[in-house]
Amino acid sequence: MERVFKRKIYAQLQAWKESRKGSTALLIEGARRVGKSTIVKQFAQNEYRSHILIDFNNTTNEVKRLFEDLTDMNLFFLLLQQQLKVKLYEHESVIIFDEVQKYPIARQAIKYLVADGRYDFIETGSLISIKKNTKDITIPSEETRISMYPMDYDEFRWALGDEVTTELLPQFYAQGKALGTAHRQALRDVRLYMLIGGMPQAVNAYLDTNNLSDVDQVKRDIIQLYLDDFRKIDPTGRIERMYMSIPAQLSNNVSRYMPYRAIGEVKEDKMLELLNDLEDSKTALMCYRCNDPNVGMSLTQDRTRYKMYIADTGLFVTLAFWDKDVTENIIYSKMLNDKLQANLGYIYENLVAQMLAATGHKLFYYTFPTEDGKRLYEVDFLLSHGSKLWPIEVKSSGYNSHHSLDEFCKKYSSRVEKRFLITTKDYSHDKDTILLPMYMTPLLR
């Protein structure tokens, strides 16, 4: 059964409609299968008297030809209504260009359609394809852009019928209280999110079957779709190999992603192009090393030193076991119950990266040498909060040491406001360090 899930981005669509009042089109960018088309259809049905949806993956040539001549707007809208059998009402209807990157001429037309002022316009598309397909058109300035990501942890809990967790966890965090006897279940809940992820199709499959192996097959289909897209952009397969190698590189606990391990030697300008394409696809999250850990980290980010994460934690887990045709329920069950005899720290790190990105944080990390120079201290994530920093280390179960965090806070004591060790343990303090359970990560805002 197909479900329409409650998504936070809906409020952003409402804010655009109320504030812009048709003066701009809304462009929703995001990776494929994150739910862009679904939320836009729901919004159009709820907030407008009528709507027309043009899916440029699956529309007629007759509809496409309408955009070739916009000299007579009255005729354009008349023919559009006639061909799609939908009546439009001035200032009460919206026209949706779904997968607009497939027909760049329609996106170029936005400038004139918005200026006409009769209807609202919403576009959806994949940023990487949008960039590749707009070289020969004029990019409209009359666009408001927002990004859409996989379902975050709150949205995942809502989908499972749990409205309580998202209301109560902020209260525990604000008061600095542990969950106590409720911690075990809360940790199991966040592990379930880690395994399923936030792709609506995967969540839907779980609700239909309650079978994580079936969910795994859905995730594999999504990954295969991404790989097919990567090959269209880069037939050499290098973007594909870079994406596929992310879990392995994280599991090796190296201080940065090594692209040459995945694709061999490549000229620097070509490497930057491949990285930009992968980042623009929104299937991966980039975490750059900042050279000066201070407010304004974007100003000192090192574009040559970075870590990469998979944008969806569920897809990350499936990629980590890609050597199998399907990941069996027994493996999922052991991970869910923390019984798998393997170091899952890198999976938790990817989970935290997704949670931080979902709350609007750009991802940065920091490394610096030990006193003897033989190894590096590493702070997994750095968040700016006002004029101060919040350094973060991520540890899986059984670990509560935080040497890198301690040394960083000693070195930059005047810049640090709070310090966090994100762990699988309940909320507590270790002197100045806050031990934060995984499920409270989205509260770091």
SS3 394: strand
Query: Do 367 and 289 form a contact (C-beta atoms < 8 A)?
Result: yes
Query: Edge-to-edge strand order for the sheet containing 363-369?
Result: 301-310, 284-290, 363-369, 376-379
DSSP assignment letter at 395:
-
> In which residue ranges of the chain is pLDDT below 70?
127-139, 341-342, 397-400
- Roughly what angle, to the nearest 10 degrees, separates helices 212-233 and 200-209? 160
Say which residue the tokens 């994580």 belong to.
Answer: 212
Say which residue the tokens 């170029």 belong to.
Answer: 108
H or E element, residue 392: strand 388-394
Calculate the alpha carbon distances from 243 to 132, 194, 255, 282, 310 in Å: 19, 19, 17, 11, 8
How many C-alpha atoms does 101 have within 13 Å on its Cβ side? 19
DSSP assignment letter at 326:
S
Say which residue the tokens 């999110």 belong to.
Answer: 193
pLDDT confidence of residue 410: 95
Burial class of residue 294 (count of CB atoms within 10 Å of its CB; 0-12, 13-18, 19+): middle
Domains of the chain, first to last: 9-147 (3.40.50.300), 153-443 (no CATH)
Say which residue the tokens 């969910």 belong to.
Answer: 215
pLDDT confidence of residue 128: 55
Structure tokens at 382: 């750095």
Say which residue the tokens 């040459």 belong to.
Answer: 260
Buried b (16+ CB within 10 A) or exposed e, 363-392: bbbbeeeeeeeeeebbbbbbbbeeeebbbb
Burial class of residue 6 (count of CB atoms within 10 Å of its CB; 0-12, 13-18, 19+): middle
List the alpha helices (DSSP H) in 252-371.
259-263, 268-280, 313-320, 329-336, 345-358
Query: In this structure, which amino acid lies at residue 180?
Result: G
373-397 pLDDT tens trace: 888 999 999 999 999 999 999 998 6
Say which residue the tokens 């996989």 belong to.
Answer: 150
Other Cβ atoms less than 10 A from the Cβ of 179: the count is 18
Buried b (16+ CB within 10 A) or exposed e, 296-311: ebeeebeeeebbbbbb
Say which residue the tokens 């995942």 belong to.
Answer: 156
In 18-142, where do the E strands start and end? 25-29, 50-55, 93-98, 120-125
Burial class of residue 143 (count of CB atoms within 10 Å of its CB; 0-12, 13-18, 19+): middle
SS3 301: strand
